[in-house]
């Protein structure tokens, strides 16, 4: 109790908390885009439930990982080398998650571009997915983003209560934003393609990070913000054109 009171009275702890909450929310955007696109392929009556279960399990997973933080920190230790370049468990997890994101986004783009793709390696003839399959895929990406998020948090503060509050705040924002974002993406088909492009960029960033090439997150999110701004302008132009046509 005394430890918590001392922490609450420490201005540096409050700065760390605000910074970490903001960072966790920004990192959660990647996860939220994937969840929104994936759950939109479910029957309408199951989408909200799938989002809530997926995000709820993400919260449990992140809190569980915080409980094993001593083990999480060791994931950054090299376990083998290839041509002199060391790889850790974190690197392997990031590479695997990045490859999965790139594959999944490419599959969805292929399905959206080709209205009659037929039977191929992407199996795009199956428009919808099962509820259980959606939850499993959400958890797979949750694990990747959670481990990356926890390791980043450890680098910013050593106080577990601050990490817990930041994780709960970020997941709460994700929970509140999930349905509006998914409905917005569903109502605007061009936004779907933009979001899939974001997923490919995020996937490539994860792969690059796994191979030791640090990509500043600010560049990635600046590119996403710029592209989103252009798409908003395109939506305004299309809306104005429809109004002209109606008149």
pLDDT cut 90: percent of the chain above it: 0
Q: Which residue has the higher pLDDT, 26 or 198?
A: 198
pLDDT by residue (tens digit) across 140-172? Answer: 888 777 777 777 676 666 677 777 888 888 888
How much is the pLDDT for 114? 67
- Dihedral sign for Cα atoms in the order 179, 127, 94, 198: negative
**What pLDDT sits at residue 70?**
67
Nearest Cα neighbor of 53 from 139, 157, 120, 129 is 139
- Of 206, 189, 100, nearest to 152 (Cα)? 206
Q: Residue 171, exposed/middle/buried by CB under 10 A (0-12, 13-18, 19+)?
A: buried
CA atoms of 228 and 224, how far apart (whole Å): 6
Report which of residues 73 and 93 the model is more confident about: 93
pLDDT at 32 over 60: yes
Res 207 pLDDT > 80: yes
Q: Is the pLDDT of residue 3 over 70?
A: no
Decide: pTM greater than 0.85. Answer: no
Radius of gyration of the chain (CA): 20
For residue 199 the two structure tokens come to 């997923």
DSSP state of 119: S
For the chain, the structural domain boundaries read 2-215, 218-247
């Amino acid at each position: 109790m005394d430890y918590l009171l001392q922490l609450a009275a420490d201005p540096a702890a409050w700065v760390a908390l605000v910074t970490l909450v903001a960072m966790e929310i920004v990192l959660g955007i990647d996860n939220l885009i994937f969840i929104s696109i994936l759950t939109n392929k479910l029957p309408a009556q199951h989408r909200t439930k799938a989002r809530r279960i997926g995000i709820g399990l993400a919260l449990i997973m992140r809190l569980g990982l915080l409980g094993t933080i001593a083990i999480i920190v060791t994931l950054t230790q090299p376990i083998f080398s290839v041509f002199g370049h060391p790889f850790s468990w974190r690197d392997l997890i990031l590479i695997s998650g990045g490859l999965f994101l790139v594959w999944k986004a490419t599959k969805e783009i292929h399905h959206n571009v080709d209205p009659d793709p037929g039977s191929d390696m992407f199996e795009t003839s199956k428009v919808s997915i099962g509820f259980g399959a959606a939850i499993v895929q959400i958890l797979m990406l949750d694990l990747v983003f959670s481990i990356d998020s926890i390791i980043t948090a450890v680098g910013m503060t050593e106080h577990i209560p601050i990490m817990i509050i930041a994780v709960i705040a970020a997941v709460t924002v994700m929970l509140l934003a999930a349905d509006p974002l998914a409905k917005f993406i569903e109502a605007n088909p061009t936004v779907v393609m933009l979001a899939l492009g974001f997923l490919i960029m995020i996937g490539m960033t994860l792969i690059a990070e796994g191979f030791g090439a640090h990509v500043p997150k600010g560049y990635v999110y600046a590119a996403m913000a710029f592209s989103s701004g252009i798409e908003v302008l395109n939506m305004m132009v299309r809306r104005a054109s429809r109004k002209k046509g109606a008149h």
